Each structure stands twice: as structure tokens, then as C-alpha cells.
């Protein structure tokens, strides 16, 4: 995966930081809920495209620092893939809860900033939604972008709240409610962005493919990969007589 921009100037003095939660695109370790329809190598290739398009979306925001938070074992690979101008930080601890806690502990240390943790598989999200999320943080302690399946695609804050994230329920249909309950318990004000969808299961991928057929420029690398995958699948069905 090549960087989507060759002239990025790091905005490390910005008071707004977008941190992409990512993993190295290792077969069998990413997009596992899309199998068996999408085997390991294909899932890794898709994830690579999703991440590259997500980075392109992040770069379109202007005066926003872009970073990646990932497992320590993936720092070298993601630094190589992300290209110039993007800081890659290894999280403390294992799992998504530890990763999110690491985001705010690392980037809020020493001064208050508007920090948003964003997933790596929603490059089709309109950039205006991310801009709105940063604006929402000006008036709230926390901002959350809910997904239709009960999770969330982004969460932002201006300070570190270690008790906001717990390991129980992360990545499940109760994740959003657990997050909101935690914010209420800490007496934090919460603003919500538009509900959206990320790419977890086959139905999500089908929905994305249909959307990118209409507007491929929204996530061009992902759109091109999905088109190639669809063409290959059609060719295979034809050759085996499965019409």
C-alpha cells in the first residue's frame, strides 16, 4: 500500500487529532468475520484498501494531526504502510478497550486537545461527519458516532478518562450502551454524530460494494478491489457452470 499523498506536512501542533485504530493487514488476523466468503489473503487485501482509503479521508480534513494506534507488534509494518506525516503509536495492553484508553492517555498528555479515535474500515464516511465530530467536542466532553448494530465507529474526548472503556462488551451489540452508561457514571456530557455503518459482516460488505458502484470516488482503492473481486467471482461461477 502506497501513501495516498506524497506532500503531507505533519500537523503535530494542531489542537485536533484523528487517531485511526488499526492492525497490520495480516491474513487471518483482520476482517475475520467476513470468512468463509472472503478467505484470509483476500480479507487482508481488502483491509489494506480500507485502511489506505481511510488515511486519504483523514488527510482531506486539513489542519488535523493524523495518527495510528495499533498493537506494538504492528508498529513497524503500519509505519511503512502509512507513509510520511503519520505518527504510529503502539498501544499499552491488549484489545480494543486498552487501545482506546491508550489513545487518550497518549495524545491528551500535557495539554487539552480534541482527540477522536476512528475505526479503519469506514473510509466511505463523508468527511463532513468527522468535521462535525470535532466541532461537537467544542461543546461536549465526549463525542460518539453510533453504528446501526449497537456499536460505534468513532469516539472522541478532550481528556483521558481511564474508566470510560472496559473490556466487557467491546465489539458487541451492547458496546454503545456500555459506553454511554460509562459516560453518564462519570458525569460527562455526550454529543452524537450521524449513525453510520462499518464493515464487519458480509451484509456490510455487500452494502458497501453497492454504494461504491454508484460513487467509487468515495473510497477509490476499495471500490477498485471490490470490482476485481466481483469480476473474479463471476468468472469462477461461469467456468464451473454455477449461474
Q: What is the pLDDT of residues 148-198, one digit of tens each?
A: 889 999 999 999 998 998 755 565 678 999 999 999 999 999 999 999 999
Asked whether residue 2 is domain-assigned, the answer is no
> What is the arithmetic mean of pLDDT over 94-103?
93
Asked whether residue 8 is domain-assigned, the answer is no
Mean pLDDT score of the chain: 88
Domain that holds residue 59: 16-200
Q: Are 188 and 142 in contact (CB under 8 A)?
A: yes
Give the model's confidence band at 40: pLDDT under 50 very low, under 70 low, under 90 confident, else very high: confident
Which residue is listed with cell 487518550?
104
Asked whether residue 98 is domain-assigned, the answer is yes
User: Which of 85-89, 104-108, 111-115 has the least mean pLDDT?
Assistant: 111-115
Asked whether residue 215 is domain-assigned, the answer is no
- DSSP structural state of residue 228: H
Asked whether residue 3 is domain-assigned, the answer is no
Q: For the chain, how many structural domains are there in total?
A: 1
pLDDT of residue 83: 85
Instruction: Choose among 130, 146, 121, 118: nearest CA to 207.
Output: 121
CATH code, domain with 127:
3.90.550.10
Give the model's confidence band at 234: pLDDT under 50 very low, under 70 low, under 90 confident, else very high: low
Asked whether residue 85 is domain-assigned, the answer is yes
Give the model's confidence band at 5: pLDDT under 50 very low, under 70 low, under 90 confident, else very high: very low
Select the more confidently predicted residue: 84 or 179.
179
pLDDT of residue 136: 97
Asked whether residue 5 is domain-assigned, the answer is no
Asked whether residue 143 is domain-assigned, the answer is yes
Amino acid at each position: 500500500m502506497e501513501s495516498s499523498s506524497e506532500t503531507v506536512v505533519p500537523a503535530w501542533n494542531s489542537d485536533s487529532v484523528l487517531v485511526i485504530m488499526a492492525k497490520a493487514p495480516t491474513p487471518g488476523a483482520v476482517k475475520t468475520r467476513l470468512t468463509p466468503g472472503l478467505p484470509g489473503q483476500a480479507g487482508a487485501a481488502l483491509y489494506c484498501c480500507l485502511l489506505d482509503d481511510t488515511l486519504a479521508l483523514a488527510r482531506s480534513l486539513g489542519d488535523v494531526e493524523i495518527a495510528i494506534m495499533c498493537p506494538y507488534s504492528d508498529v513497524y509494518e503500519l509505519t511503512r504502510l502509512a507513509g510520511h506525516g503519520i505518527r504510529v503509536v503502539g498501544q499499552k495492553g491488549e484489545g480494543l478497550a486498552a487501545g482506546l484508553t491508550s489513545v487518550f492517555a497518549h495524545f491528551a498528555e500535557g495539554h487539552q486537545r480534541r482527540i477522536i479515535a476512528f475505526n479503519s474500515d469506514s473510509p466511505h464516511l463523508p468527511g463532513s461527519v468527522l468535521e462535525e465530530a470535532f466541532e461537537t467536542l467544542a461543546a461536549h466532553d465526549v463525542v460518539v458516532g453510533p453504528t446501526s448494530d449497537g456499536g460505534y465507529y468513532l469516539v472522541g474526548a478532550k481528556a483521558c478518562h481511564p474508566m470510560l472503556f472496559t473490556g466487557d462488551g467491546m465489539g458487541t451489540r451492547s458496546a454503545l450502551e456500555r459506553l454511554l452508561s460509562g459516560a453518564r457514571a462519570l458525569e460527562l456530557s455526550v454529543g452524537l454524530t450521524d449513525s453510520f455503518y462499518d464493515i464487519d459482516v458480509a451484509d456490510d460488505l455487500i452494502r458497501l460494494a453497492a454504494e461504491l458502484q454508484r460513487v467509487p470516488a468515495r473510497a477509490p482503492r476499495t471500490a477498485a478491489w471490490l470490482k476485481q473481486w466481483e469480476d473474479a467471482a463471476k468468472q469462477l461461477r461461469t467456468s464451473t457452470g454455477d449461474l
